[in-house]
Structure 1
Amino acid sequence: MEALELARLQFAVTGSLHFLFVVLTLGLAPLVAIMHTRWVLAGKPLHERLTRFWGQIYVINYALGVVTGLVMEFQFGLSWSGLSHYAGDVFGAPLALETLVAFFLESTFLGLWIFGWGRLPKGAHLACIWLVTLTAYASAFFIMAANSFLQNPAGALARGDHMELVDVGALFTNKTLVFSFPHVVGAGLFTGAMVLVGASAYQLRRRTSEVEFFTKSLRTGVTMASIGIFLTIGFGYAQFAGIQDGKFKGDSAAVPLGFMIEIGQLLAFVVLFLMLPLIRFLPRWRWTHPLLMLMTPLPFVLAIMGWLARELGRQPWMIWEKLTVADAMTPGLTPPMITGSLVAFAAVLGLLALVDYVLIARVVRRGPRDLDLGAVREPALTY
């Protein structure tokens, strides 16, 4: 393979593996915040245990996801210096804001939430998890703003050998952003909710002693999955109104796009017209539980297919009709050099994904007992 093809493959592999963590983080954050809100308002021990259990899974995924984001930064700096030189003043602005939001605000509020159990007043503690959720979505917004600039370079003009930002408002109201961002939000919510459904079905299938706990989790998952898939499908189709002529005509983009649409429509039918109407019976119908477990990874697959379709549909442009992918690549890179970094990045990200799955699966198998999150080992304030 040539250097350009290897660089594109490297970006596809690193981006896809990183997005697995991102989409689950975006889905679990609001779900945990809702559970915490129920606990504060109702004061029921069940809601506290739900918050701690799913919150621990969220923390595991977030911690490992941060590391995958660092690998993405290395990948950008190594292979795409041409993009940085030509449009760094524009493309880098939302990425810098995302870094400030994700690595400072989001992690700060998450740290306060993790270590604030039994120590912070209940209102302040609840505010922390909602601020975590809001900053997670702000982080996603800035990332999508940067990506939407590549799809449609609004708010910037070419000046000599580089682009300059001339309209911040246009950058953050990009026509490819206003529908793609809520589409991603819906996909994240659907993914997180289906993890609740699949994990709960697994435990109920095993005839767990925590029937009430996982019945509540499964019903919450089905409800939120219905909202998530509705948003995903609706805003997904809305995006087509702003697509430039020439996108998605190549076979490389058509395959993931077609897969995403067909399977997404099937899942929407199953969730909205089968699972949601039967939400009261699903926890008791053990014959449905293997099917629900098999559905759990599909939202992740669809998320990757959607991301690949969005990126492949822009080829051969890195910035639509402004900068080609070939010109965006770092000069002087050779196939052996890119192959080495590709293997290294893929190994690191693949290992992190495996560790993430193993740790989450271990928590799910163990159930809501002996949880580290929220375990108070010293005298503390009570709610």
Structure 2
Amino acid sequence: VASKTLKTLRGGLSQETAPTICTLLLPETSAAAISITDIEYVLGFEGDIATSHMPGSKVVGPATEVLESGRMETFVSVDSRQQVLQRRGGFGNGGSSFGIIVPLIVQDRTVGTIKLYYRRGIEIDRTQLAIAEGLGELLSTQLSSYELDRQAELTARAEVKALQAQINPHFLFNTLNTIASLTRTNPNKARDLLREFSVFYRRTLESSQGALIPLSQELTQTRRYLTIEKARFGEERIQESEHVDEGCEDIQVPSFLIQPIVENAVRHAMKDEGALHIDIHVTRDDDDILISVADDGLGMDEETVSRLLNGQGPTPQDSSGRNRGTGIAIKNVAERVERFYAVGSGMEIMSKPGQGTCVTLKLAGAALQATA
């Protein structure tokens, strides 16, 4: 039953999920009926008992007291409408039905209740109380898991939006200036570049939800970025190559995984003369996926690498006279890799001044998604 309820509760507690949960839980008890509420309304009901506390009705009576106290209670139904708290030993024979109300607690907050209905008070024994308490703990744990996943997703979305805010301004203005210049010298190329940029920008905005995307989509977006930068700096100034192991194109990765690393190379590794070579490799390593982005540019010393990984503020200018930037984008990528994949995931940067840089991402367990 735990696996079935977990699958249902991936969408949280709602009018859509609660009825299914009631149907799954009722056979696990000796109760005649079961209902689930949030803090305001009855969300689901299953069973055969006379009560007005049906889906859509407001939470009233003993359930409100359980919501306030966060404690399990028993009750007796005076009639189909009125329920009152009653200790189990004082049930007697009066009442149209009897029951147990269990709080659902998520992160120290009571978010709802489970209510079990019995035809006779004598049926509510220690076993039924233990079962009711266990079901409450089960759903509370699963709802807590859902809430943590939801918060992680919201955090990821916020991080992607922050990354967009960093990437877009300088790139937007540089690209528009390039297109404006090309309209005078090469109108056809300007038109093609504008089309490419519009697709790139649209995909960037669509990625703001922080969802996982196929690796092939991230690579395509990275190629669009390089096409635009080549128009700005010249085709001969940026040379890229790719190698992707078979079956890896379909693995799911966070958006903005590779493109910020490539952009960092274009912005900071390009020498005053000659081409910047950027090589992207995606390989399988047992159950893991390794993604490396290597360049033969200016390189960095150990202090700059450390600051880049820590996302610290602007570093002193290097020997080329350029400011290395904040490193927020790189740190953002590293943190999302660690969040989305198994223990052992992360980023490694190897670099030497004058010899280039290699950034490697380890996606632990990601190869299990790849096709053979």
Q: One fold, TM greater than 0.5?
A: no
Q: Whose Rg is larger?
A: 2
Q: Which has the higher contact order (CA 8 A, sep 6+)?
A: 1
Name the one with the larger strand percent.
2
